[in-house]
Structure 1
Amino acid sequence: MRRRPTRGFGALPAGVLVVAWWLSGPAAADGYARQQDDVGTSGADLVLPLALLAAVVAVAAYTFLTRRRRAATRTTPHGGVPVPELAELDGRARAALVAADDAVRTGREDLAAATALAGAGAAQPFAQAVRHAEGELAAAFRLRQELDDARPEDEPARREMLEEVVARSVDAQRRLEEASDVLDALRSAPGSAKEALDAADERCRELAGRLGTAEAALAALRGRYAPSAAAPVATAPDQAGARLRTARERLAQARAAAGQEAAGELWAAEAALAQVALLVDAVDRRAVELAEAAGRLPGALAEAEANLAEAAKVLEDLSGGLPGATAEGVTKADLRGRAARAEAVTGDVRRSVEEGRYDPVEALRRVAEADASLGAALAAVRGRGEEARRARAFLEHALLSARSAVGAADVYVAVHRPLVRAPARTRLAEALRRLDEASGGAEDALPSVQEADGLARSAQALAEQDVRLHGTSAAG
């Protein structure tokens, strides 16, 4: 919003200006004439006009200063509607993002329950609302990320972006609320309650069996790998068990109730079951990721060690030349530094593998990052085909690590969402966006994938901090 121009004496009340004109115009001249005609009149006759003139000046000064102060603090914009301070607007934007993200996540759960209850066709209107809300929320998170990055914006631009974040977040919630009638109709459809209860009971039994398998898988992961390997899902079975108990309680209450009350209990049970499935899936996915990373790690180590040998040869060939760039502006000192780091990382990872207690995903991430950095310095001396092959290998390693980090952070935010604030959600949304853009497999996608990995890990750390600061997440 543009700042209103500050006005001076031109903005004074009309009555004040009239008084000022009268004192300085014909009335004052007439008084002066009478004073000349009557030489005996005392100078005290001028006291009243002078006092009025001083009052006019005081009122003018007060009005001018007040208008300047209000313009500076932006408390009286056009139309008299207060404009919030930038910090207040920023807080509104963060709160609106959290509310919209919660609404979209709940909407996805409701959509899954509605589809299971009545089929995809009947739930299609609500599915369209969820997709619209997802689009608005994604755009709002993108703007929030731009505001949070290192690029400064001036106050008008920042204010405009914050207002758009609020507007898009509110629109996402509004669209879901408008489509809630579809859910209400599905909940209250004749004969749907009994079918849905039977389906939910069956789903409870299925998830109970999967939960037992997940607990066994987690125990195996803890016995085989370092504690950090299982850390992202360390509490998932316990949380899934709590939500499964909640679902069973809600289903029992739904069978004892009737009408809308029964529908509400059934919907709450479906939401709890959705989170049980999310947590069990997370354990299964983590086990697969660790196994895949462990399988890739020997090849990544061999690749890194081959790069180290090549770097040593390049440095030896350049030892007789002048210090400076090797090719593409890479200096010998830079190449030597990258080689030293890659050598330290590969040595450390090999030792941890030999000891048998390591985190395959983290080990692969470390080796891939160090080797990619060294490979970039060596790219100028390689053939085109060889460089393309190695770039694809780097990208595959990075994608595995990034998907693991994004998946873990997404599950954590979903399960603890009553306590997770806007910064963690914003980083997670940006990580998802960058990972989605890079999933096409383009050779130049490696930086985006690595950024997605870092953003997801940052989101996880911020979300965990929110949970520690604001209490434990309630079950269900």
Structure 2
Amino acid sequence: MTISAEVPVAAARGGPVAGAGEHGRRNAEEGTSAADLVLPLVAVGGVGVLAGYGYVRRTRRARTRTTPGVVSPQPPVTPLPVLERQAGAALVQADDCLRTSREELAFVEARFGTGAGGGGEGGATVTEPFVRALREAERELSAAFAIRLRYDRGVPEEDAARRHALAGIVGRCAEAGRRLDAEAPAFDQLRALEEELDTSLGIAEARFRELAGRAGRVDAATTTSTVTVTVTVTGYVEQAKDRLVFATTHLNQARQTADLGDTGTAIRHLRSAEGAITQADVFLNDVDRLANSRTAAAALVPAALTGAEAELAKAEMARATPQPPSGRLHTQLTHAHSTLAAVRQELTGDSPYDPLDALRRIVQAMLPLGAGRDGVLGVAAWLVGRSDVGSADGFVATHRGAVGVAARTRLAEAELLLATDPAAADEPASEARETAEQDVRVHGNPYAGAADDRTGGVGGAVLGGILLGEDPDGGPPLSFGGPATRKRRGLPPT
């Protein structure tokens, strides 16, 4: 602020004060009185006081809040726990978007002949942009999970670097979502549900009938089986049937509303049914996969046990010294001996046993001794790791409405290890499954028990992330796309 060098002078009054003497009149005529000199000084002093007061006010405001044009010397800092929750929510949302997008793309591939058992060249061409978008989004999400995994292990250590890591997670997730959002309009154009609804309904209904028959067969097989079903798939057939109840309700409603000309509502019912059909398939696949894995494990246990016993003998010979082995090595050898002896007793006994668990114990007992990654033990490790990773992934997929970031991070780690070090994939996969189950127990389900004709299966649909759970009826069904587009098939506000 610039102040003029010219000091204002008080204006002269219209005349002398009544009753003034001759001396006063003489001073007024000859020059400036003393009062005239004091007034400018008072004015200048007042300007200085006001300027100082304004400066103090502005400084106080700058220190307490941000005002336009004033930079706060101490900007507010978001606490790390808040940033961690934001990054975790971004990971969960991005993972959900990817899972939903894969599921809906499978119905498009079935229509154009590029799904399982298909392979049509023309279909592959029309769906290739969406397959590419999914792969790019998966790379971003995989990188985000890798950052989160290091973060959970304390890397980096400095607060500033940890803030940067969390910002990187959010940025990667945002890019994954943006990539899917960008393809959503073209995806809808390819599906053309508004014009080809009957075709898509026919595909969903055929898939539904196939799964309904399969659920009955799987249920009968598990009921009459002499081998006890393990806890990992207990209740899966019932949950598959629950999803199918939900699917048949919405397929019927889709047909009815389509006949009435309400295409938008019919599409929303179709998307709800497609999501339920996909998850019913996951439940039944998990039961079948476990049965197949246990059959393969039962055939492999004798060879794995023999191979482990040979490796154990070599380990003892290689470390043989005049002195007894160290305390740690002695413990490892003792544990391996007792584990192999217990498995051998189960194998030769009359009681049923879990061959997958037997393989797991063999591999884990031999890993500390440097064995378990090659030969027959390597095959055993891969079989166990694949089974455990598949079990954890299926559980997250069908309960993702309640599963948090910790379980998903461990699952991402297990999936990476399965391709690089199968023997090490078992532990994070098992932890992912256990953490996800705990999330479901803590979360609960406010829609559980809704079983009338209109809302049957809504509880499972919300728990499975088929419906977003924002409304009393379960909320909108989710579709191919990122955070900005995945709810576009939702019901309009009433």
TM-score bin, normalised by smaller chain:
0.7 to 0.9
Q: Secondary structure at the match of 2:101?
A: helix
1:452 to 407, 425, 438: 425
Q: How far, CA to CA, are the matches of 2:443 and 2:104 in structure 1?
A: 27
Moved more, 245-254 or 346-355: 346-355
Aligned twin of 1:31: none
Aligned twin of 1:364: 359
Q: How far, CA to CA, are the matches of 2:301 and 2:72 in structure 1?
A: 64
Aligned twin of 2:296: 292
Aligned twin of 1:412: 395
Q: CA RMSD in A?
A: 3.4
Do residues 95 (structure 1) and 89 (structure 2) align? yes
Q: What amino acid maps onto 1:347 in structure 2?
A: A
Aligned twin of 2:460: 475
- 1:117–1:77 distance in 2 versus 1, CA, 3 Å: farther
Aligned twin of 2:285: 281
Moved more, 288-297 or 181-190: 181-190
CA contact (8 A) 1:409 1:457 kept: yes
Q: Secondary structure at the match of 2:78?
A: coil
2:273 to 269, 272, 276: 269
CA contact (8 A) 2:363 2:381 kept: yes
CA contact (8 A) 1:114 1:183 kept: no
Give the 5 Å matches for 1:45-56: none
Structure 2, unpaired ranges of 5+: 3-44, 113-122, 449-458, 462-494
Q: How far, CA to CA, are the matches of 1:337 and 1:80 in structure 2?
A: 56
Runs of 4+ residues deviating >4 angstroms = 76-83, 308-315, 331-335
- Per-residue CA deviation, residues 222-252 of structure 1 (Å, 9 max, x unaligned), is x324x5xx22111211111111121111111
- 1:130–1:78 distance in 2 versus 1, CA, 3 Å: farther
Aligned twin of 1:424: 407
Give the 5 Å matches for 1:120-269: 120-189=124-193, 192-219=196-223, 223-225=226-228, 230-258=230-258, 259-269=263-273
> Number of paired residues?
385
CA contact (8 A) 1:254 1:265 kept: yes
Percent sequence identity over aligned pairs: 39
CA contact (8 A) 1:200 1:270 kept: yes
2:306 to 302, 307, 311: 302
- How far did residue 147 of structure 1 move? 0.4
- The structure with higher relative contact order (CA 8 Å, sep 6+) is 2
Q: How far, CA to CA, are the matches of 1:96 and 1:282 in structure 2?
A: 28
Q: What amino acid maps onto 2:255 in structure 1?
A: R
- Per-residue CA deviation, residues 382-434 of structure 1 (Å, 9 max, x unaligned), is xxxxxxx9822221111111111100000000000000000000110111112
Q: How far, CA to CA, are the matches of 1:77 and 1:301 in structure 2?
A: 70
- How far did residue 297 of structure 1 move? 0.9
Q: What amino acid maps onto 1:213 in structure 2?
A: R
CA contact (8 A) 1:307 1:375 kept: no
Q: What amino acid maps onto 1:370 in structure 2?
A: A
Q: How far, CA to CA, are the matches of 1:196 and 1:213 in structure 2?
A: 26
- Per-residue CA deviation, residues 181-230 of structure 1 (Å, 9 max, x unaligned), is 12332443565211222222211111112212222343355x324x5xx2
- 1:114–1:77 distance in 2 versus 1, CA, 3 Å: farther
Q: How far, CA to CA, are the matches of 2:389 and 2:373 in structure 1?
A: 24
Q: What amino acid maps onto 2:237 in structure 1?
A: P
Q: What amino acid maps onto 2:365 in structure 1?
A: A
- 1:234–1:147 distance in 2 versus 1, CA, 3 Å: same
Q: Secondary structure at the match of 1:419?
A: coil
- Relative to the length of structure 1, the TM-score reads 0.72
Aligned twin of 2:37: none
- 1:313–1:132 distance in 2 versus 1, CA, 3 Å: closer
Q: How far, CA to CA, are the matches of 1:162 and 1:390 in structure 2?
A: 35
Structure ID, larger Rg:
2
Aligned twin of 1:402: 385
- 1:182–1:261 distance in 2 versus 1, CA, 3 Å: farther
Q: What amino acid maps onto 1:176 in structure 2?
A: L
- How far did residue 80 of structure 1 move? 9.1
Do residues 464 (structure 1) and 437 (structure 2) align? yes
1:433 to 404, 412, 416: 416
Do residues 342 (structure 1) and 336 (structure 2) align? yes
Q: How far, CA to CA, are the matches of 2:245 and 2:373 in structure 1?
A: 49
Q: How far, CA to CA, are the matches of 1:451 and 1:312 in structure 2?
A: 23
- 1:348–1:250 distance in 2 versus 1, CA, 3 Å: same
- Per-residue CA deviation, residues 121-143 of structure 1 (Å, 9 max, x unaligned), is 33333323222221111111111
Q: How far, CA to CA, are the matches of 2:84 and 2:128 in structure 1?
A: 35
Q: What amino acid maps onto 2:423 in structure 1?
A: Q
